Copies of this chain bind each other. A is one copy, B any other.
Amino acid sequence: MEARPEVSANSRLTVAAHALTWIGLYQRRGHEVATSEQIATSVNTNPVVIRRLLADLRKAGLADSRRGAGAGWMLSRDLAAITLLDVHDAIAAGPIFALHRSTPDPECVVGHGIGPAMAAVYDQIESTLRGELARTTLEDILRDVLKAT
């Protein structure tokens, strides 16, 4: 009966990591800023999609942009100081699992108690997930990327 987010980041984390890593490498090669056009070409998508995504990352303090001519994007921190958890939180990814869409029968023992019981499991999993994401920085990702060449 009620509405529900049902998000699921899915490919957004991949694209966000891709964009930031691209900017980082581009800057290390001596460029000031990267345009959404350039990033979109590497990601193989539309520049607007990149701008929307980077706007979220800017809100989280991971990236920043300059306007006007010679405009573009730059990192706010070094790649080594950005973990995948930072990126994950920046793109406001929803929880992996959700409870019922419409609340189950509260008169039923199972219907009444299953929500909290499952939530406890989900919270534990979510916490573990965050720990895993925090272990990897974009510097690690870039190292893997360059190693694969």
* A residues adjacent to B (C-beta < 8 A): 6, 8-11, 13-15, 17-18, 21-22, 25, 41-45, 84, 96-105, 108-114, 116-118, 120-121, 124-125, 128-129, 132-133, 136, 141, 144-149
| A31 → B minimal CB distance (Å) | 14
Contacts of A9 in B (CB 8 A): 97
Judging by beta carbons under 8 Å apart, are A114 and B149 in contact? no
Choice from B14, B132, B147 contacting A125 with Cβ under 8 Å: B132
Nearest opposing residue in chain B for A22, CB measure: B110
Judging by beta carbons under 8 Å apart, are B44 and A121 in contact? no
Choice from B15, B110, B146 contacting A109 with Cβ under 8 Å: B146
Nearest opposing residue in chain B for A9, CB measure: B97
A interface, over-half SS: helix
Q: List 5 A-B contacts (CB under 8 A).
A: A14-B98, A41-B108, A112-B148, A113-B145, A117-B144
Bound-state CA distance A105–B15 (Å) is: 13
Known: A10-B98, A111-B43, A114-B141. A121 touches B18 (CB 8 A): no
